[in-house]
Amino acid sequence: MDEFSRVEVLRRVIKNPELSWVLFQHGTCVLVPEPAADLAMQATETLKEDGPVHAGSALGDFATLVLAKNMGWAVTSHREEIFTLVGPGELSGAAANSLSIGLLGRSKRSQDASELTVIHVEGRRSGAPDA
C-alpha cells in the first residue's frame, strides 16, 4: 500500500471530520484529539513514547480490525490514538490471519517509532495546521 492509498483509507476510516491525525512512513497513524501548533511534532512525541514494541508489556499488545470494502486491516495498540494500517496485498492466502496481520502491524508500528518519519499531516480542527 503506497502513501496515497494509506491517506485515502484513513480519510474514509476516520469518521470525525474535526479529528486531526498524522501518518508515518510504514503505516502507523497517530490521532491528535487536542492539536497543538505543530501536529507532526506532537504525534512524533506520542509515537516515540508509546510506539516501540516491548514483548510482554502493554507496549506489545494489539488487536486486529478488518476494514470495510477490502481496504485491509487496522492493528491497534495499547493506546487508542495509535494504530497501524496493513494493506490487503501485504499478506495473502493462509498467511492473512489475525495473528500474522497483528504481528506485521505491530512490527510496522515499532519501525515507525524508531524512525519517526512523518509522511502526511491532516489538520482538521479549526485553527489546526493542515499539510
Task: Write out the chain's pLDDT in tens, 131 residues.
Answer: 788 899 999 999 998 988 999 999 999 999 999 888 899 999 999 999 988 876 665 555 688 999 988 899 999 988 899 999 999 889 877 677 888 999 999 999 999 999 999 999 999 755 444 44
Q: Structurally, how many domains does the chain consist of?
A: 1
Helix (H) or strand (E) holding 120: strand 118-122
Residue 85 within any structural domain of the chain? yes
Is residue 129 domain-resident? no
- C-alpha span between 45 and 56 (Å, rounded): 23
Residue 82 in any domain: the answer is yes
The CA distance from 1 to 36, in Å, is: 29
* Model pTM above 0.75: yes
CA–CA distances in Å: residue 89 to residues 63, 96, 101: 19, 9, 11
Q: Is 12 helix (H, G, I), strand (E, B) or coil?
A: helix
Q: Where in the sequence is the domain holding 79, given as residue range(s)?
A: 3-122
pLDDT on residue 128: 43
Whether 130 is covered by a domain: the verdict is: no
In-domain check, residue 128: no
In the Cβ-directed half-sphere of 90, how many Cα atoms lie within 13 Å? 23
Q: What is the pLDDT of residue 58?
A: 56
